[in-house]
Structure 1
Amino acid sequence: MTTSLGSSSSGVLDGIVVADFSRVLAGPYATMLLADMGATVIKVESPGGDDTRAWQPPVRDDQATYFLSVNRNKHAIALDLKDEDDLATAHQLLAKADVFIENWKPGGLAKFGMDPDSVAERYPQLVHASITGFGTAGGAHLPGYDLLAQAASGLMDITGEPESHGQKAGVAIFDVVTGLHATVGILGALQERQRSGKGQHVAVNLMSSALSGLVNQTSAFVAGGVVPTRMGNDHPSLAPYGPFAAADQPLIIAVGNDNQFRRLATALGVPELADDERFATNPGRNAHRELLRAELETHLQAKSASAWVEELRAAHIPCSEVFTIAQGVEFADEIGLEPVQPAGEEAIPTVKHPIDYSRSGVSYAKAPPKLNADAEAIRAWLHDTAAHTGRR
């Protein structure tokens, strides 16, 4: 590997080469995490570019902030797979790579010799990760949009107030969850390759990731035969757990056990609530949640939300104000999480990688690339690799 494409960090994935043919969110999020951890990620786009380059507003210096959010630390090249020379370059990348990740429609890469069967035969060392919307069987024809997975999985049906028609999450949450699942699958396959010397195909899809990501809600039906319903901001199994009105605005109180509730009752000046048989246990609090809400809010009206947060935290009661995104970033900075990290010489503000390692670093060395920005360096790197290893 030449230094022109190598990672500048001593990350845990130094030496791993990723051929990234994915676009939009799930795949690019996965490959950004890999790149942050030291992998050399080559982002392959069509000549028109990743769709999210045009998902504006908002923008920073005419670049979509959506694209900037998931494409740090990557080297970009534009290839038209219908062009013979560009297709040859794509296969050169696969020959060099450790990981090939794509989110094409099932069967869409077969005509280019890049489908799972062809890849397994031609590049047996390669870990090939495919991301689809609804799998490769009966849902193969369905487009893989996060919103469709939110609707089809049941998330929208359990989100919102009881009288509403359901509500999507405020972010493409299942794209993100699927990207995380893809990352885990890739790392597992790389570990197994160390033992066997062979790559394998890793398949993830939005629908399966959604059902897994709904955890206790899916389990309520699968294991208990209960169909969850919309409960607004209430929790199906815990009380008090949600927003409660203080003097000026709501605050979040998240009581997870009886001891926490006793501390809450004491902090509010009504310790007798913890001995009331209706509220002493979590099942009782759930059965009488509206009565409990009225009791709590009567006492919460005495102070502002911020004053209660300070007081309740001092009593080790889980709570928070309800922040905007801006306030959330500021809060993370205040508590030392350093949420904003500048990427590359351009110092593009990006959100910090979510993992901290005690010995190995993560990288913010390269800003999200412009379309085709690294084509010359990538082609030179491939030529140098072929010249030194005999690969063609």
Structure 2
Amino acid sequence: MRPLWSTTLNTSGSLAGPTLKASDPPLGTDPSSGGSSGISEQTRPMDLLDGVIRSYDWGSTTALSDFRGVEPSGQPEAEFWFGAHRSGPSSFRADGRSATSLEMPFLVKVLAVDRPLSLQVHPDEATASVGCRREDVAGVLVDDPRRCFPDGRAKPEAVCAVGQFETLCGFRPIPEALEMAARSNLPERVLGPLRSGDWSTAVASALAAPPEEVAAVTSAAEAGDGPAAGLVGRLAALHHGDPALLLVPLLRHHVLDDGDLLYVAPGVLHAHLSGLAVEVMADSDDVVRAGLTSKFVDSMVLVGLLRPERLVDVEMATGSVHRYDLEVDDIVLRRLSGNGLDVEVGGSGGPELLLCTDGSASVRSGDGRSDLVALRGEAVWIGPGDGLTDLRVDGTVHWVACRDLGCHAQ
């Protein structure tokens, strides 16, 4: 049996369960108001779920406004969140109440990457839990920029391209990495461990490289050709002198087409570079950065999290209804694409989200008493009590469900 989205294999091979926190709101309450909403998680009917924009400097000033069909705000808009995370909980259209973690146990984001993100890795459950406790004991506040594990939960994620999306994700096989390292003038401190297959030492050595070694790699990129040289030069222009530049030639460069997906497991080093994508992840904001950022970097912790043996492959969507392989058993992601495509959704036993990324989606409850229409940039939430529900797709919908009882295309 494969691991669950909310649990990942720890280093001993056993399953580590999710961390429950005293700060989680009581069932049926509104976290933002502290009181009862009048509609509990168990009784709420399907509804439109309004997302929350998150602004970071790497975001686009136009992509998410175009996606939502609204006027640009003039600010870089990086992420559009659908979830219950305390940093930006979504709200139900009918009554404005914030979603709770029972109603949205996963987090769905639309990323709009205009500038490259940091080089980073996400933790597994065991490491996140231990890291969270350690930071709590050290008195590092949850909103402290030095905090790597504010939630204490694993953070696997799936990235599905909307249009073209570019990313660095996962290490190259060692023979290929050695070839790229030599062409990129990487120092012996990195090449030596690589020859013996010691990724941890190679990465730690790269991140500890002195300025002259970083300058040598940057100079080689300026004088060289090929995709690796171009990427190093492009990132060096933004992060001059950053030792993490030495890792760029060792990473696999992916250019995803519309509907292509990458599953980014905990421990996989990655940096998203450009484009629009739907990201489905555990309800966690835990992340450890290696560099290429002005944010806090903890290279020692990052090296301990790495799973360099993971080869990341691109999965292409095939057909009008495509179920992606997320390597977990409790979250299912499907891409539905077509005109007049009729699909039966709901009935999974858990909450589901239908995010319209193109065209429109019309949803009718099984009892015929409720009809909703989601346009591009809108999402429909379906609760466990809604049962089987009819969906008509005229465009593209990303359908996330907590459990899988099958998809019945008519």
Q: TM-score when scaled to structure 1?
A: 0.28
TM-score by length of 2: 0.27
Structure with more helix by fraction:
1
The structure with more radius of gyration: 1
